[in-house]
Chain A
Amino acid sequence: MDAGLLEQMLIGALLALSVYLPLRCGQLSLATPGFFAIGGTVAALLSTRIPIFAGTGATSPLPALLLEMTLAGLLAGLLALAIGGTVLRLRGIYLAIATIALVEILRVITLNLSFTGGALGIFGIPQPFTTTAGYAGFTLVLLALVCWLCARLEQLRLGRAMAAIRDDELAAACVGIDTAQVKLQAFVLSALLAGLTGALAAHFLNSWNAKVGSFDASITTLAFVVFGGSRTWLGPVIGGLVLSALPELLRPVGDLRLIVFGLVILLGPVLFPQGLITPQGLQGLGHRLLGYGQQLRGYGHKLLVRVNGPRRP
């Protein structure tokens, strides 16, 4: 498989995790592309304007990328912190609409500021990696780290509080969980992740413009989570990987590829209303795999007996 496609898939998975974090505590936030756009803009501006970040202009140093990602994540996180308190008072579909508005406001601001390049955006972003494989390797490590943190989160007090709020916010508040605080933390984490992913994506895409943070992008990232499942971190990761890759993998189908892609998005939630990956499904799969493992072990034992002869007492 082409490393460029792999990189797109990994970025898709990271964005899906960003949508998943607020969803874990029942908050349908579609703000991810907005924070993604902020992160990318930060990286694009720094690496095209500031000499230390720009490197030679064609290639830029790796520490600069890490610093950009940190700054981008922090800026997105701070913005989320600033607006989260107000926005998160809304629930369900109202929160979704407010976050769509946020994405739209950020997009129009980007279009009208002169230093973000208007509609043309910022181009000629230098490359921290000489090959796309370098990007893919780096992003895979990043994704693994984020996955590990998400997996840890499910065990931690914060993660359990998030799950409690998702299942019943009133009950969670009654047992002493500060629901507003937990929801805000999830929102900020989500923004942070989207921001640093944006910084990486800006380098990978060579150019950055207002189109990356659009309503369409909100829906695409939400589709990753709906398709993959929102109960465990593996769901959005699989959803992001599969749905990012599918339009490319379907190229042999020719003109029908977008129709097939649409059908997959349609059939996913119809056949798997909870998403492809659910904790129950995973457990079932795990047991089945273990079963196969035992069976194999049995075969292996028999083979050994046949080769070595029965063990002597």
Chain B
Amino acid sequence: MTAAPRLRSRAERHANARFRLGRLNRLALGLALLGPALSLGGCGGPDPAQQAVNLSQGVPIGAVLALSGNANVYGQDQNTGLRLALAELNGQGGINGKPLALKIEDSGSDEPGANAAFSLQINRGVLALIGPTLSQQAFSADPIAQRRGVPVVAPSNTATGIPEIGPFISRVSAQSSVIAPLSIARALELHPQIRRAAVFYAQDDAYSTAETTIFQKALTDKGLKPVTVQRTQLNDQDFQTQITAALQQKPDLVVLSLQAVDGGNMIRQLRELGYKGAIVVGNGMNTPNIYPICQKYCEGILIAQAYSPELQSPANATFLRRYRASQGGAIPPQLTAQAWTALQVVAEALQRLDRRQPLQQSSVAQARKALMAEILSGTYQTPLGEIGFTPSGEVIQKDFFVAQVRMAADGKSGRFALLP
């Protein structure tokens, strides 16, 4: 009876001494050993891409959108487009009788969020990815999909160089170098007396800096070298300094490459400070979410668009019907139409692929590779008009539009009216 307590207390003394000496060092050592163990463990499992496509829940497709953070105004528009397209496509029988199973994940508005969401979706075994919302996120997340051989259809990346990330990357959103000059040309047609252009952009935003270069080149090509170029920050609210500086140059055209929130505030403050001339804005303000911000001051701004609600085509009619039914008769924005288009492209390519080579007979990796080739080879009748792809994945789109914002009398709601 006496042996046991003695043994215990001796062991305890011994252990206590050891514990005091090196408890933290040993913890660090433990961490060090865990590293190689984990990485080995990661390599040991079967590669999910070599397994057969899991069709038990439907045909797996993933989307990664900025539903939170400062880009969420875009992500929400895209979310609506994807959900409507999903309902429409599955209503028509999905992929040759199998429903599409679309999983939408939030990427936040930053790169690590997009990377994490991409990896999550790819590990789930999706056959294609739609997203991410921002070009900056695409430069970070697309290489992950490229390395793992997963087709990406970007619904809203407009920066130069996105399809060039790799053969698995494509987009349905025309790049700004194609669209942006159209609105400048149109503004000059409407107001031939324009001589002095002022340019504004957010210098800490990838989209703004990329687009303003294109705008400035377009202006210079028309013989209108900007009289002033003003820089702002993405999260700025107050632009009085820049506006005052710009107005001293007496501009008769203002060109904005800003996102929805800062751009809306900029327009409001420009008008409040007495600017009367024409305003051309870029793709960042291509959303009805600017109406509540600049309200009656939005009136008359010019914007080039890759989508017009007034396009007459069966595909656009279907999209408009679905959108109006779900949003109480509102007019759909470009981002929603592009998101719809992205899912439609993936679905139609899947239908063709499945008819030629049934999905359940291929592994995930084979299906992804074949799907990418199928996406690029097709032409699609979409709400954006007829579109196709270049071999590198750049969209080929026929119809572009220049619209002018027309606000309702109450100054709360408005629409992008297509210019004839």
Do B35 and A141 touch across chains, with their CB atoms under 8 A apart?
Answer: yes
| Known contacts A112-B203, A233-B24, then 19 further A-B pairs from the complex at CB < 8 Å, ordered by chain A residue | A118-B203, A121-B136, A123-B139, A131-B43, A136-B39, A137-B36, A140-B35, A141-B35, A206-B115, A207-B111, A211-B110, A234-B24, A257-B106, A282-B23, A286-B19, A290-B12, A290-B16, A294-B11, A301-B4
- Offer 14 A-B interface pairs, CB within 8 angstroms, sorted by A: A3-B38, A4-B116, A5-B116, A119-B204, A130-B147, A136-B42, A140-B38, A144-B35, A145-B32, A148-B29, A206-B144, A207-B140, A248-B116, A290-B16
By a beta-carbon cutoff of 8 Å, the part of chain A in contact with chain B is 2-6, 8, 107, 111-112, 118-121, 123-124, 127, 130-134, 136-141, 143-145, 147-148, 151-152, 154, 205-207, 209-211, 232-234, 247-248, 251, 255, 257-258, 282, 286, 290, 293-294, 297-298, 301
Q: Which of B198-217 contact A (CB under 8 A)?
A: 202-206, 208-210
Do B32 and A140 touch across chains, with their CB atoms under 8 A apart?
Answer: yes
Do A119 and B15 touch across chains, with their CB atoms under 8 A apart?
Answer: no
Chain A proximity of B102: nearest CB distance (Å)? 15
The CA of A148 and the CA of B113, in the complex, are separated in Å by: 30
Contacts of B165 in A (CB 8 A): 124
Contacts of B24 in A (CB 8 A): 151, 154, 232-234
Q: Which of B1-31 contact A (CB under 8 A)?
A: 4, 8, 11-12, 15-16, 19, 23-25, 27-29, 31
Within 8 Å by CB of B208, from A119, A132, A133, A145, lies A119
Contacts of B115 in A (CB 8 A): 4, 8, 205-206
With both beta carbons as reference points, the residue of chain A lying nearest to B42 in the complex is identified as A133
Within 8 Å by CB of B31, from A3, A131, A143, A251, lies A143
Known: A111-B203, A294-B12. A141 touches B140 (CB 8 A): no
Known: A2-B119, A136-B42, A205-B111. A144 touches B28 (CB 8 A): yes
Contacts of A3 in B (CB 8 A): 38-39, 42
With both beta carbons as reference points, the residue of chain A lying nearest to B67 in the complex is identified as A255
Contacts of B120 in A (CB 8 A): 2, 248, 251
Within 8 Å by CB of A8, from B8, B42, B112, B143, lies B112
The CA of A8 and the CA of B204, in the complex, are separated in Å by: 24
Known: A4-B116, A8-B112, A207-B111. A133 touches B28 (CB 8 A): no
Known: A4-B116, A145-B32, A206-B143. A111 touches B204 (CB 8 A): yes
The CA of A57 and the CA of B206, in the complex, are separated in Å by: 23
Do A2 and B123 touch across chains, with their CB atoms under 8 A apart?
Answer: yes
Contacts of B29 in A (CB 8 A): 144, 148
Chain B proximity of A34: nearest CB distance (Å)? 15
Within 8 Å by CB of A119, from B28, B42, B206, lies B206
Do B42 and A140 touch across chains, with their CB atoms under 8 A apart?
Answer: no
Do B11 and A148 touch across chains, with their CB atoms under 8 A apart?
Answer: no
Known: A120-B206, A205-B140, A209-B136. A151 touches B25 (CB 8 A): yes
Do A4 and B119 touch across chains, with their CB atoms under 8 A apart?
Answer: yes
Do B139 and A136 touch across chains, with their CB atoms under 8 A apart?
Answer: no
Known: A5-B116, A206-B144, A211-B110. A119 touches B205 (CB 8 A): yes
The CA of A120 and the CA of B212, in the complex, are separated in Å by: 13
Do A120 and B38 touch across chains, with their CB atoms under 8 A apart?
Answer: no
Contacts of A209 in B (CB 8 A): 136, 206
The CA of A259 and the CA of B222, in the complex, are separated in Å by: 50
Question: Cβ of B77 < 8 Å from any Cβ of A?
Answer: no
The CA of A234 and the CA of B31, in the complex, are separated in Å by: 11
How many contacts between A and B, using CB within 8 angstroms?
Answer: 149
The CA of A119 and the CA of B134, in the complex, are separated in Å by: 13
Do A141 and B32 touch across chains, with their CB atoms under 8 A apart?
Answer: yes
Question: Cβ of B159 < 8 Å from any Cβ of A?
Answer: yes
Do B39 and A134 touch across chains, with their CB atoms under 8 A apart?
Answer: yes
Chain B proximity of A257: nearest CB distance (Å)? 8
Chain A proximity of B284: nearest CB distance (Å)? 13
Do B116 and A290 touch across chains, with their CB atoms under 8 A apart?
Answer: no
Question: Cβ of B178 < 8 Å from any Cβ of A?
Answer: no
Contacts of B205 in A (CB 8 A): 119
Known: A123-B140, A207-B139. A133 touches B4 (CB 8 A): no
Q: Which of B390-408 contact A (CB under 8 A)?
A: none
Known: A8-B112, A140-B31, A211-B110. A132 touches B140 (CB 8 A): no
With both beta carbons as reference points, the residue of chain B lying nearest to A151 in the complex is identified as B24
State the 5 A-B residue pairs at the shortest beta-carbon distance, nearest first.
A137-B39, A140-B35, A144-B32, A133-B42, A123-B139
Known: A119-B204, A147-B31. A294 touches B111 (CB 8 A): no
Do B203 and A298 touch across chains, with their CB atoms under 8 A apart?
Answer: no
The CA of A166 and the CA of B343, in the complex, are separated in Å by: 57
Do B68 and A258 touch across chains, with their CB atoms under 8 A apart?
Answer: yes
Question: Cβ of B348 < 8 Å from any Cβ of A?
Answer: no
Contacts of A143 in B (CB 8 A): 31, 35
Contacts of B299 in A (CB 8 A): none
Do A298 and B8 touch across chains, with their CB atoms under 8 A apart?
Answer: yes
With both beta carbons as reference points, the residue of chain B lying nearest to A232 in the complex is identified as B24
Chain B proximity of A118: nearest CB distance (Å)? 5
Contacts of B141 in A (CB 8 A): 206
Contacts of A136 in B (CB 8 A): 35, 38-39, 42
Known: A143-B31, A234-B27. A120 touches B203 (CB 8 A): no
Do A8 and B31 touch across chains, with their CB atoms under 8 A apart?
Answer: no
Contacts of A139 in B (CB 8 A): 35
The CA of A98 and the CA of B136, in the complex, are separated in Å by: 29
Q: Determine which residue in B12, B19, B116, B161 has the highest number of CB atoms from chain A within 10 A of its CB, and name it.
A: B116
The CA of A140 and the CA of B35, in the complex, are separated in Å by: 5
Chain A proximity of B166: nearest CB distance (Å)? 9
The CA of A248 and the CA of B29, in the complex, are separated in Å by: 27
Known: A141-B35, A206-B140. A286 touches B204 (CB 8 A): no
Q: Which of B71-119 contact A (CB under 8 A)?
A: 105-106, 108, 110-113, 115-116, 119
Do B23 and A137 touch across chains, with their CB atoms under 8 A apart?
Answer: no
Question: Cβ of B34 < 8 Å from any Cβ of A?
Answer: yes
Within 8 Å by CB of B136, from A120, A124, A293, A297, lies A120
Contacts of A251 in B (CB 8 A): 105-106, 120
Do A120 and B159 touch across chains, with their CB atoms under 8 A apart?
Answer: yes
Contacts of A6 in B (CB 8 A): 38
The CA of A2 and the CA of B32, in the complex, are separated in Å by: 19
With both beta carbons as reference points, the residue of chain B lying nearest to A118 in the complex is identified as B209
